[in-house]
């Protein structure tokens, strides 16, 4: 089927008490692997690219790849800009065919974050595209996005932020971090429940790579409707290539080790979809 936006996906997830898995892709192989998992489990799926990934390829390239694969799929596929760094980048993504965008102004002061997030949300809404924004800082580093310290989302600020920006979904900070965790993450789940009571848009969890299944499921029960996975997909892909080349050192055909990497990513995505509870929702 053709691309869909993330709006219905996330509203359905909120009503159904599950979360949509959102998976970052770096190349064609990862896109195919993610969609293969969604097809097998009959799950809706969001494929994401960060600003850094777009610099590696281009918005046009990723939009074309995902569009081509989505047209062959029988489950809904959304292409989302993850951690958008500017209004201009969001415009480029929308023009290229992305069906969801994020403006990450979380490193900015509160009023500046509101201003830029509202600008992107209004632009996207004018053409029927939903917009995610972030309030509070998720720790760690993902591509070029880095937070030195965690600053968890304030529920009262979240309510004001959503009302003044008109965003479609809100990424919250409750103690998660981008990348793999050095220690054991401690999540402020009570704060998540307070945010859920304060706002009326779907909530998003960033930094899920490395959380336990129980932690992710606990967040979904408290209102998370979208869970982002990035670092662990990269790890699965790279480790699979390494293992293949170690066992087959004379291989020179990229298709050979790429198939192994795709299989590893598909299995990981399936596992994460089951944790989010979105498997079987397209039956």
12 annotated as ligand-binding = no
23 is in an annotated binding site: no
Q: Please indicate if the annotation marks 97 as binding a ligand.
A: no
Cβ neighbours around 254 below 10 Å, total: 11
Residues 6+ apart with CB under 8 A from 17: 220, 221, 277
Instruction: Determine whether the annotation assigns residue 19 to a binding site.
Output: no
Report whether 104 belongs to an annotated binding site. yes
Question: Is residue 178 part of an annotated ligand binding site?
Answer: yes
Catalytic residue among 82, 143, 150, 279: 82
Burial of 91 (0-12, 13-18, 19+ CB in 10 A): middle
| DSSP code per residue over 55-113 | HHS-HHHHHHHHHHHHHH-SS-EEEEEEEE--HHHHHHHHHHT-SEEEE--TTS-HHHH
Contact residues for 71 (Cβ-Cβ < 8 A; gap 6+): 1, 2
**Contact (Cβ atoms closer than 8 angstroms) between residue 207 and residue 178:** yes
Binding site annotation covers 218? Answer: no
Q: Is 279 a catalytic residue?
A: no
Q: Is 179 annotated among the ligand-binding residues?
A: yes
Task: State how far the Cα of 176 lies from the Cα of 215, in Å rounded to an integer.
Answer: 10
208 labeled part of a ligand binding site: yes
User: Annotated binding residue at 206?
Assistant: yes
Asked if residue 228 belongs to a known ligand binding site, the reply is yes
Helices (H), 104-212: 110-125, 155-165, 189-198
**Binding site membership for dihydroxyacetone phosphate: which residues?**
179, 207-209, 228-231
**Binding site membership for Zn(2+): which residues?**
83, 104, 134, 178, 206
- Active-site positions read 82
């Amino acid at each position: 089927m053709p691309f869909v936006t993330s709006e219905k996906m996330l509203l359905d997830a909120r009503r159904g008490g599950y979360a949509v898995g959102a998976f970052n892709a770096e190349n064609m192989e990862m896109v195919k692997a993610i969609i293969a998992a969604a097809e097998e489990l009959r799950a809706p799926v969001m494929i994401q690219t960060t600003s850094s990934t777009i610099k590696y390829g281009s918005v046009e390239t990723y939009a074309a790849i995902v569009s081509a694969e989505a047209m062959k799929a029988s489950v809904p596929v959304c292409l989302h800009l993850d951690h958008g760094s500017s209004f201009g980048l969001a415009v480029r993504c929308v023009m290229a065919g992305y069906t969801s965008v994020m403006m990450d102004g979380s490193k900015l002061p509160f009023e500046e974050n509101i201003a830029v997030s509202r600008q992107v949300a209004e632009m996207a809404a004018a053409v029927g595209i939903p917009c995610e924004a972030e309030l509070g800082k998720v720790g760690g580093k993902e591509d070029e996005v880095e937070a030195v310290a965690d600053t968890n989302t304030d529920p009262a600020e979240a309510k004001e932020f959503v009302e003044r920006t008109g965003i479609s979904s809100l990424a919250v900070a409750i103690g998660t971090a981008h990348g793999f965790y050095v220690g054991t993450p401690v999540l402020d789940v009570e704060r998540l429940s307070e945010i859920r009571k304060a706002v009326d848009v779907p909530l998003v969890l960033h930094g899920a790579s490395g959380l336990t299944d129980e932690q992710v499921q606990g967040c979904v029960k408290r209102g998370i409707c979208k869970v982002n996975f990035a670092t662990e997909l990269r790890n699965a892909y790279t480790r699979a290539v390494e293992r293949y080349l170690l066992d087959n050192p004379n291989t020179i055909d990229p298709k050979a080790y790429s198939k192994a990497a795709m299989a590893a990513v598909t299995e990981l995505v399936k596992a994460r979809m089951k944790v989010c509870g979105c498997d079987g929702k397209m039956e």
